[in-house]
């Protein structure tokens, strides 16, 4: 069992390494976007898949990461890597701040708070012209590594892949850790978990903070890829798209996060002709997925895989 | 000094009195039975102790400290563990995992160590699983260790819940109808287990039970509730003779 | 000046209250928070506008048609999306309403265009004199229509069999089921009723803001804020909460700044959650095991 898992992981990795060859500039860019989105999907795996909490404001954390890193690199002259890390940490701090008040109440308050938060962040970034450039936006330097600028998205893609793998590894560790399992226990039955000595507020704050950190890192990396930030990017629509891709890819699997990232990055390319209805299609696929494939597209892949490899499977 | 001291506890839901001025104490090492007709407020009382409900009035002291300002998880961590009337298991998890979740709060490392799978975190995970396996074995559940709890028969699920409570090294164990839905032989075994836990581990037990045979054989003292009020308290022999108790039970029938 | 501000604040607040009532209604009946409620209101309002321009029915007739139209929209949506999710984990239903949000939002833009349209108002903006104070007629009109809707809702819950059954079900679902109350039917009725109320909300707000596929987002946020202020479980609480929000919004816009007049609601949500999470009017909630 463990062996097949390793083989699958190696195969996926080989595919990810080989994929960009021969794709051309735009292909590299798209592949980079896949990775950036997949990091957000990973963050929603932690929050929704393990924590059972929902956020419709991840654009807010994405924006904080992007603007945070851009400003720290341009205004303070920090190196790119530290900028990205700082972007993640700023987002994480705000993640904890948003989760804190909503925790005292059960139910959907946290989701509502995240919605308000994302709109608030977008507006502050827009109004605070002296810092963020407001309407004009903000120029962001290209990523650089040890003094070398990664001018090409081909090279940047491999850096993004490495960061994605790092975050995926952390996610896996978290899922096996006591904190992660406490979080999943709270999702299964919060009453039972609390009566086992597991503190609900603490673990939901942890989930929210990790999730916001991943998203902030992704946003920071995205800003350096685009080279220019404007507040319109961080709209409600992108929050909702994030949610869609995470659910469609699969909320309980790191490979699912990758699939979700690919969906969100590539679907617009395939749906060029019906640009107007693209979001409608997202909405429809989201509902169909929740109804018929609650574990996401990856569950189909897994099922096909198990049928192919273990004919005597009992379950 | 009693282990638990309940004083003037009252709670109402939407104007309906669930508990009214209930007071009694539990000494260390005692097995106390909580009986009364349906809707007498027994489970509500347990829920107040484990801080799922917040009482309107009155205090609950545990080891001479007030519980009202604490959360459910803090109370559990201090050594008050419980089972539930309608089972609150982690249904999508295995027996072993259920028991492990009952004790992992005692195995803490820093979050960073966990995220980067440092040796300290991995040692912790191994330690917790080892202890869980021990408890699973003690409760005679080893055969089912890797089975999803939802697939076990009802009686065994109750046992898993008890094992999970035991995993917390409780000082006080709250059992909400441990013998419900069991046949005569099984209830006898439950009674034996409760006795054994007290005799060998010194655990204080507060249990709700409808099976009078279990209550009368296992309990040192009994508290009787009716319509949210305490109507009697005493040894099993005293309770059997109490006219108030007879009236409450027969009056209902 | 200040009476004008108060009156228009109350008018605004009563519009928010209609949307908040829809949200709380569905939440009480089915435990789902319908994030798409605002978009469904916007969609219904566009449909009414189409009716108005295509058929040249007078405006009051179209406003009356909004009620059956809203019921139809709500019932159909519930049937198609929520029905299959009734036994799924609650977070799935929540995600589905977000799917609905995207569907209604962008379908409206796709069908009716992305440019704001002027929507005729039943009431004139001219002020009239009431007890020596000058108050805009449309403020009074909006308050009157909202009040009418609220009174009708009150009568429904107080005096009809179905309304009483719904109240019982929201207090104790298991008991209501045992007494033969049909949960599926209650969910359908809640969605139908709520959507009708929210379409009326859309019709009242469209003349103020122009008819636009983006128009309900800030309204939704403020309705949430008002509902949370009222405890999210009480219909009168939601109304009072929203009236407070409407008045505060108008005062902020007049005396502080208009820049944050839409996002201050977030601040209110956070403050309420921090200091009085159960809302201003309800007692602390206890968990049921």
Mean pLDDT of A211-238: 93
Could you give the C-alpha distances from C178 to C27, C173, C187, C287, in angstroms and in order?
A: 21, 9, 17, 21
For residues B48 and C180, which has the higher predicted lDDT (pLDDT)?
B48
Residue A313 has a pLDDT of: 39
- Chain B residues touching A210 at Cβ < 8 A: 115
Low-confidence stretches of chain B (pLDDT < 70) are 14-15, 250-253
pLDDT exceeds cutoff 70 at A315: no
Q: What is the pLDDT of residues C102-123, one digit of tens each?
A: 999 999 999 998 888 888 887 7
- Chain B residues touching A188 at Cβ < 8 A: 90-93
Do B175 and B250 lie in one domain? The reply is yes
The DSSP annotation for A222-273 comes to HHHHHSEE-GGGGSHHHHHHHHHHHHHH-TT-HHHHHHHHHHHHHHHHHTGG
Do B164 and B175 lie in one domain? The reply is no
Which phi and psi (to 5°) does residue B172 adopt?
-125, 130
Assess if residue C248 is contained within a domain.
Answer: no
Closest alpha carbon within chain A to C266: A116
- Chain C residues touching B14 at Cβ < 8 A: 171
Chain C, residues 249-268, CB within 8 A of chain A, namely 259-260, 262-263, 265-267
Is residue A88 within 8 Å of A96, Cβ to Cβ? no
Identify which of A219-233, C80-94, C246-260 has the greatest average pLDDT. A219-233
Instruction: Check which CATH number belongs to the domain holding B240 and give it.
Output: 3.40.50.300
Helices (H), C133-182: 137-159, 161-171, 173-178
Size of interface B-C (CB pairs under 8 A): 15
Burial class (CB in 10 A: 0-12, 13-18, 19+), A201: middle
Do B140 and B200 lie in one domain? The reply is no
Do B98 and B56 lie in one domain? The reply is no
pLDDT exceeds cutoff 70 at A255: yes
Cα(A9)–Cα(A2) distance, rounded to whole angstroms? Answer: 11
Residue where a domain terminates, one of B168, B200, B229: B168
Do B96 and B163 lie in one domain? The reply is yes
Reduced 3-state DSSP string for B181-248? CCCHHHHHHHHHHHHHHHHHHCCEEEEECCCHHHHHHHCCEEEEEECCEEEEEECHHHHHHCHHHHHH
B183-187 long-range Cβ contacts below 8 angstroms, 24+ apart: B184/B213, B186/B155, B187/B211, B187/B213, B187/B214
Do B73 and B188 lie in one domain? The reply is yes
For residues A145 and C35, which has the higher predicted lDDT (pLDDT)?
C35
Counting residues of chain C whose pLDDT is more than 70, the rounded percentage is 94
Residue A19 has a pLDDT of: 83
pLDDT exceeds cutoff 80 at A273: no
Mean pLDDT of the residues in chain C = 86
Say whether residue B249 is in contact with chain A using an 8 A CB cutoff.
no
Do B37 and B151 lie in one domain? The reply is no
Using DSSP's 3-state secondary structure scheme, residue B173 falls into: strand
Residue A247 and residue C95: Cβ atoms within 8 Å? yes
Helices (H), B139-170: 154-166
Residue C287 and residue B84: Cβ atoms within 8 Å? no
For residues B164 and A134, which has the higher predicted lDDT (pLDDT)?
B164
Is residue A98 within 8 Å of A61, Cβ to Cβ? no
Mean pLDDT of A116-132: 88
pLDDT exceeds cutoff 80 at C140: yes
Confidence grade of residue C83 (pLDDT, cut at 50, 70, 90): confident
Residue with token string 């321009």: C53
Residue B135 has a pLDDT of: 94
Residue C98 and residue A107: Cβ atoms within 8 Å? no
For residues C241 and B245, which has the higher predicted lDDT (pLDDT)?
C241
Closest alpha carbon within chain C to A114: C266
Cα(C5)–Cα(C255) distance, rounded to whole angstroms? Answer: 11
Q: How many CB atoms lie within 10 A of CB A208?
A: 29
- Chain B residues touching C284 at Cβ < 8 A: 54
Which phi and psi (to 5°) does residue A224 adopt?
-70, -25
Residue A42 has a pLDDT of: 97
- Residue A204, min C-alpha distance to chain B (Å): 13
Q: How many CB atoms lie within 10 A of CB B149?
A: 23
Structure tokens at C200: 């009326």
Q: Which residue from C171, C284, C287 is facing B52, i.e. has the nearest CB?
A: C287
Assess if residue B220 is contained within a domain.
Answer: yes
Count of domains in chain B? 2
Is residue C132 within 8 Å of C71, Cβ to Cβ? no
Say whether residue C94 is in contact with chain A using an 8 A CB cutoff.
yes
Query: β-pairing, B31-35 with B204-208?
Result: parallel
Say whether residue C217 is in contact with chain A using an 8 A CB cutoff.
yes
- Residue A270, min C-alpha distance to chain C (Å): 18
Mean pLDDT of A17-33: 86
Q: Which residue from C171, C286, C289 is facing B54, i.e. has the nearest CB?
A: C286
Do B101 and B117 lie in one domain? The reply is yes
Domain range for B120 is 90-168
Cα(B89)–Cα(B100) distance, rounded to whole angstroms? Answer: 12
Residue B47 has a pLDDT of: 92
Is residue C32 within 8 Å of C82, Cβ to Cβ? yes
Residue C285 and residue A287: Cβ atoms within 8 Å? no
Residue where a domain terminates, one of B138, B168, B198: B168
Do B70 and B184 lie in one domain? The reply is yes
Mean pLDDT of A11-39: 89
Q: Which residue from C35, C109, C285 is facing A56, i.e. has the nearest CB?
A: C35
Q: What is the pLDDT of residues C185-240, one digit of tens each?
A: 888 999 999 999 999 999 999 988 888 888 998 899 999 999 988 888 888 889 99
Closest alpha carbon within chain A to B91: A188
Q: Pick from C96, C129, C128, C117: which is nearest to C213 by CA? A: C117
Say whether residue B89 is in contact with chain A using an 8 A CB cutoff.
yes
Q: Pick from C60, C65, C61: which is nearest to C47 by CA? A: C65
- Chain C residues touching A191 at Cβ < 8 A: 287, 289
Domain range for C15 is 2-215
Mutual angle of helices A236-249 and A24-44, in 10-degree steps: 80
Residue A105 has a pLDDT of: 66
pLDDT exceeds cutoff 90 at C78: yes
State the best of B75, B114, B130 to mutate against chain A, taking most chain A CBs within 10 Å: B114
pLDDT exceeds cutoff 70 at A55: yes
Q: Pick from C133, C265, C276, C141: which is nearest to C203 by CA? A: C141
Residue where a domain terminates, one of B168, B186, B218: B168
- Chain C residues touching A52 at Cβ < 8 A: 89, 91
Do B32 and B66 lie in one domain? The reply is yes
Residue A191 has a pLDDT of: 92
Assess if residue C76 is contained within a domain.
Answer: yes
Cα(A212)–Cα(A193) distance, rounded to whole angstroms? Answer: 24
- Residue C172, min C-alpha distance to chain B (Å): 11
Residue A290 and residue C99: Cβ atoms within 8 Å? yes
Say whether residue A315 is in contact with chain C using an 8 A CB cutoff.
no
At a CB cut-off of 8 Å and minimum separation 6, what does C161 contact? Answer: none
pLDDT exceeds cutoff 70 at C32: yes
Assess if residue B66 is contained within a domain.
Answer: yes
Say whether residue B114 is in contact with chain A using an 8 A CB cutoff.
yes
Confidence grade of residue A314 (pLDDT, cut at 50, 70, 90): very low
Residue with token string 């969910």: C187
State the best of C168, C234, C289 to mutate against chain B, taking most chain B CBs within 10 Å: C289
Q: Which residues of C145-178 are buried (b: 16+ CB within 10 A; e: fewer)?
A: bbeebbeebeeebeeeeebebbeebbeebeebee
Residue C269 and residue A280: Cβ atoms within 8 Å? no
Assess if residue B85 is contained within a domain.
Answer: no
Count of domains in chain C? 1
Residue B53 and residue C286: Cβ atoms within 8 Å? yes
Q: Which residue from A112, A240, A285 is facing C101, i.e. has the nearest CB?
A: A240
Confidence grade of residue A73 (pLDDT, cut at 50, 70, 90): very high
Mean pLDDT of A248-257: 92
Assess if residue C84 is contained within a domain.
Answer: yes
Do B65 and B103 lie in one domain? The reply is no
Angle A257-A260-A261 from CA coordinates, rounded to 5°:
90
Say whether residue C1 is in contact with chain B using an 8 A CB cutoff.
no
- Chain A residues touching B102 at Cβ < 8 A: 196
Cα(C226)–Cα(C218) distance, rounded to whole angstroms? Answer: 12
Chain C, residues 179-198, CB within 8 A of chain A, namely none
């Amino acid at each position: 069992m463990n062996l097949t898992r390793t083989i699958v992981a190696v195969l996926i990795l080989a595919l990810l390494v080989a994929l960009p060859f021969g794709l051309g500039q735009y292909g590299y860019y798209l592949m980079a976007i896949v990775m950036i989105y997949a990091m957000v999907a990973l963050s929603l795996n932690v929050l929704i898949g393990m924590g059972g909490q929902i956020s419709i404001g991840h654009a807010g954390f994405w924006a904080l990461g992007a603007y945070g890193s851009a400003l720290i690199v341009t205004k303070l002259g920090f190196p790119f890597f530290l900028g990205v890390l700082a972007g993640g940490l700023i987002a994480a701090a705000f993640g904890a701040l948003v989760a804190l008040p909503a925790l005292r109440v059960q139910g959907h308050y946290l989701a509502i708070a995240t919605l308000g938060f994302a709109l608030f962040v977008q507006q502050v970034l827009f109004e605070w012209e002296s810092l963020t450039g407001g309407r004009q936006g903000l120029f962001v330097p290209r990523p650089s590594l040890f003094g070398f600028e990664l001018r090409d998205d081909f090279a940047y893609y491999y850096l993004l892949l490495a960061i994605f793998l790092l975050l995926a590894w952390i996610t896996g560790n978290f899922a096996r850790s006591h904190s992660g399992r406490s979080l999943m226990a709270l999702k299964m039955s919060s009453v039972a978990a609390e009566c086992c000595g597991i503190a609900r507020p603490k673990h939901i704050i942890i989930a929210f903070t990790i999730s916001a950190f991943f998203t902030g890192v992704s946003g920071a990396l995205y800003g350096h890829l685009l080279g220019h930030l404007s507040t319109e990017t961080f709209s409600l629509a992108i929050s909702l798209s994030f949610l869609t891709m995470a659910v469609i890819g699969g909320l309980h699997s790191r490979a699912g996060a990758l699939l979700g990232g690919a969906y969100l990055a590539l679907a617009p390319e395939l749906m060029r002709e019906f640009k107007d209805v693209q979001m409608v299609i997202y909405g429809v696929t989201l509902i169909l997925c929740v109804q018929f494939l609650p574990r996401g597209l990856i569950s189909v892949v897994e099922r096909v895989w198990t049928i192919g490899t273990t004919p005597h499977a009992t379950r | 000094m009693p282990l638990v001291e309940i004083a003037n506890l009252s709670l109402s839901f939407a104007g309906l009195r669930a508990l009214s001025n209930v007071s009694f104490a539990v000494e260390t090492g005692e097995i106390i039975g909580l009986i009364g007709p349906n809707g007498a407020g027994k489970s509500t009382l347990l829920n107040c102790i484990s801080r799922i409900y917040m009482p309107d009035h009155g205090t609950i002291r545990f080891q001479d400290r007030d519980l009202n300002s604490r959360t459910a998880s803090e109370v559990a961590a201090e050594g008050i563990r419980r089972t539930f009337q309608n089972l609150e298991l982690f249904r999508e998890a295995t027996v072993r995992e259920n028991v492990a979740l009952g004790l992992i709060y005692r195995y803490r490392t820093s979050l960073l160590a966990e995220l980067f799978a440092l040796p300290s975190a991995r040692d912790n995970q191994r330690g917790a699983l080892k202890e869980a396996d021990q408890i699973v074995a003690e409760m005679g559940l080893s055969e089912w260790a890797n089975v999803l709890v939802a697939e076990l028969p009802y009686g065994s699920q109750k046992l898993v819940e008890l094992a999970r409570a035991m995993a917390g090294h409780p000082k006080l164990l709250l059992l909400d109808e441990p013998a419900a839905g069991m046949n005569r032989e099984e209830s006898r075994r439950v009674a034996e287990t409760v006795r054994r836990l007290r005799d060998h581990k010194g655990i204080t037990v507060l249990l709700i039970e409808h099976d009078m045979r279990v209550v009368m054989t296992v309990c040192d003292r009994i508290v009787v509730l009716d319509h949210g009020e305490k109507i009697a308290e005493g040894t099993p022999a005293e309770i059997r003779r109490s006219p108030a108790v007879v009236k409450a039970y027969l009056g209902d029938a | 000046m200040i009476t004008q501000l108060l009156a228009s604040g109350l008018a605004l607040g009563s519009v928010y209250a209609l949307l908040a009532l829809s949200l709380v209604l569905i939440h009480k009946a089915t435990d789902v928070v319908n994030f798409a409620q605002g978009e469904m209101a916007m969609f219904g309002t566009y449909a009414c506008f189409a009716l108005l321009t295509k058929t040249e029915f007078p405006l009051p007739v179209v406003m009356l048609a909004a009620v059956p139209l809203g019921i139809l929209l709500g019932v159909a949506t519930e049937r198609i999306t929520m029905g299959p999710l009734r036994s799924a984990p609650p977070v799935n239903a929540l995600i589905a309403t977000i799917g609905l949000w995207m569907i209604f939002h962008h379908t409206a833009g796709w069908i009716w265009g992305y440019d704001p349209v002027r929507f005729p108002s039943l009431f004139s903006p001219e002020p009239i004199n009431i007890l020596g104070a000058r108050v805009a007629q449309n403020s009074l009109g909006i308050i009157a229509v909202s009040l009418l809707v609220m009174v009708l809702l009150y009568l429904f819950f107080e005096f009809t069999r179905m309304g009483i059954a719904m109240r019982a079900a929201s207090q104790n679902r298991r008991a209501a089921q045992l007494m033969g109350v049909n949960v599926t039917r209650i969910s359908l009725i809640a969605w139908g009723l709520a959507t009708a109320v929210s379409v009326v909300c859309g019709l009242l707000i469209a003349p103020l803001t122009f008819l636009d596929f983006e128009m309900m987002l800030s309204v939704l946020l403020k309705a949430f804020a008002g509902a949370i202020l009222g405890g999210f479980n009480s219909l009168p609480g939601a109304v009072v909460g929203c009236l407070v929000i409407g008045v505060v919004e108008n005062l902020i816009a007049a005396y502080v700044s208009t820049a944050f007049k839409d996002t201050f609601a977030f601040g209110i949500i956070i403050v309420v959650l921090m200091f009085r999470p159960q809302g201003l009017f309800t007692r602390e909630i206890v968990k049921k095991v």
